Amino acid sequence: MFFSFRGQRRKTSTRMGSPAGRVDRKRRSVMRLGALAASVGVGVATTALVGGNTRFGGSGSGGSARLPVSIKDASHATGPASMTTVLLVFPDHFSFRPDEIFVAVLGRAPWAPDVFGYVDPVHGTFHPTGNAADFRLDSATMTFSVAALRRDGGQPLTLTIPPLASGRVYFAFGRGFDAMPSFGAGGPSNGADNPVLYDKFELHTADHPNFHLTNDDFWSVPFTISAIDANTGTRRVVGYPHRRADMIAAFDSIPVLDAAEPFGNPSIFKALRVSASDGRLTRILSPKQARFADWGGDDAARLAAAQRFTHFWDRYVNELCWRPNRRFSFYGKDLADRQVFYGRVEPDGMTLSLFIDAAYTVPYRVPTLPRPSARWGQPDYSPTGGDPSLFHNTDSSVGPIDWGFLLAGNAGAQTGDGAHWASDPAAIAIAMSICRGVMHLDDGCVSWIDPARFYNGAGNGVATPRMPIFWYAKLLHAFGIDARAYAFSYDDVYAADPAVYFGGRPELIVQFGQM
């Protein structure tokens, strides 16, 4: 998943240099970013935002009397060479002024993973706040108006980010982070209780620097990110180079032939549109992220929609993937290993046995996996008569498993039927291939790794209850550059995700699409 250690190493400088030298180097870095933007076509028909009421405070009310706590102050000096710069580029006639766009950069201290904090992207300083479990965002001191990034005579809008571990860069549009419900290190709420249009990407600027565009929780805003790929030495761009209206229209056009169909019902993807009180769409949730309350306006609607997600792949799994006496081969989740696994479904169609030889004589260390489906109505998490705690259950010792939730990447049980799905390379590859609609194909070493076969349903993109299409992922991959997106927790299986390791070239460009 995110932040696996690949790519080139880069030594981190610990020399601070003179203030004048730092300013001069920062100015040259910004000039290089502007040239980079032009060289990859980012500047075509776009301008950086100009004007607005520059505030050096955040999106909360009032100013900040808090003094910056730099990495040097925390006994870890960081020189300009180890800074990552992120140039922000917006279309002409963008929907929001710079003083209506806010940014928060949160993450962990690279020298102490248990220390959480925030970054001042104007000055490039990290402010440790303590343990991640105790973190609460203070929007007045920890978030910044994009207008504040334009300084030193009108230079481009640039974030300056020091070494940061497992970080996230959040953008809020129209309203600041103070308009969101209070949140901690895990990030803002994605439900209807959060009326703010926002999005994010993940960024690791310490060892093995990389960024990751992730939508396994939700999709909200179209943007692309580019950097020099440490593995190829060429500039690589990932993301969604499209208008927001066009992407929303595609979600609106998802075909629903029978809204009452229990299995493989695409109506679930239309139930998870989150809008503000003025009717503006703020985000589209991934089904795996949805809370019970997100599934509808009342308990009956919520239960019906949530059960359809729980059982979304049941017919596909039961009739095609766990077909009695079926035999097939496939790779584990990491193609670099090229380890071939062999699967055999037992005659009762309930158990899949795994082997490491083509003769099916040497059992794999995870010898069997259960059929990942349950009878309709199980688990019963109905608010009336059922057990609400079984919603999103992945532990068979507690009760019936919510298999739709588990297969989408939310497994976590250590024992029982829910074990291995999130920890074993063969089991993860099987789960993701179910989600992509290719697990029924016996030549897994060919078909499971071919993106052209993903999300095709019964053929030509036609979804049926027996061969459903997970439209949330299909559309994001369709809009993503090179068909790359991160729509599931394990969408990096077979290298289909938009992660880039940029090593010693820490100059990123983020270009937003028209809203």
Q: Exposed, middle or buried, 46 (CB in 10 Å: 0-12/13-18/19+)?
A: middle
pLDDT one-digit tens code per residue, 327-347: 999 999 998 889 999 999 999
Question: What span, in angstroms and rounded, lies between the C-alpha atoms of 320 and 331?
Answer: 19
Question: What span, in angstroms and rounded, lies between the C-alpha atoms of 408 and 209?
Answer: 27
- For residue 313, give the nearest of 404, 428, 400, 379 by alpha carbon: 404
- Within 10 angstroms of residue 34's Cβ, the number of other Cβ atoms is 19
pLDDT one-digit tens code per residue, 276-296: 988 999 999 999 999 999 999
CATH architecture assignment, domain 19-241+499-512: Sandwich (2.60)
* CA R_g for the chain: 24
| 176-180: Cβ within 8 A, 24+ apart | 176/58, 176/59, 176/60, 176/102, 176/139, 176/143, 176/145, 177/58, 177/59, 177/60, 177/102, 177/104, 177/137, 177/139, 177/143, 178/58, 178/59, 178/60, 178/61, 178/139, 178/140, 178/143, 179/59
User: In whole numbers, what is the pLDDT of the chain averaged over residues?
Assistant: 86
Question: What span, in angstroms and rounded, lies between the C-alpha atoms of 15 and 176?
Answer: 36
Alpha helices in 343-448 (DSSP H): 403-405, 425-436, 444-447
Q: What is the pLDDT of residue 64?
A: 31
- For residue 205, give the nearest of 5, 1, 503, 509 by alpha carbon: 503
Query: pTM here?
Result: 0.84
Q: What is the pLDDT of residue 67?
A: 27
- For residue 491, give the nearest of 259, 185, 215, 131 by alpha carbon: 215
Question: What span, in angstroms and rounded, lies between the C-alpha atoms of 498 and 477?
Answer: 10
Mean pLDDT for 391-401 is 96
Enter the tokens of residue 209.
Answer: 């620097």
Q: What is the pLDDT of residue 151?
A: 56
pLDDT one-digit tens code per residue, 185-217: 999 999 999 999 999 999 999 988 999 999 999
Angle at which helix 471-479 crosses helix 244-252, to 10 degrees, equals: 150
| Residue that the structure tokens 């995700």 belong to | 497
Residue ranges of domains in the chain: 19-241+499-512, 309-471
Q: Are 85 and 33 in contact (CB under 8 A)?
A: yes
User: Is 434's pLDDT higher than 60?
Assistant: yes
Question: What span, in angstroms and rounded, lies between the C-alpha atoms of 320 and 338?
Answer: 25
Where b means 16+ CB within 10 Å and e means fewer, 340-365 reads ebbbbbeeebeebebbeeeeeeeebe
Determine if residue 129 is left, alpha or beta; phi over 0 gives left, psi from -120 to 50 gives alpha, anything else beta. Answer: alpha
Which whole-number Å values give the CA distances from 426 to 141, 234, 339, 404, 423, in the listed order? 45, 33, 9, 18, 9
Enter the tokens of residue 133.
Answer: 């479990």
pLDDT one-digit tens code per residue, 472-503: 999 999 999 999 999 999 999 998 789 999 98
User: Is 512's pLDDT higher than 60?
Assistant: yes
Mean pLDDT for 320-326 is 99
Determine if residue 364 is left, alpha or beta; phi over 0 gives left, psi from -120 to 50 gives alpha, anything else beta. Answer: beta
| Residue that the structure tokens 């060919």 belong to | 446
Q: What is the pLDDT of residue 505?
A: 83
How many residues are recorded in the chain? 515
Mean pLDDT for 32-61 is 37
Q: Which residues pair with 127 in a beta bridge?
A: 118
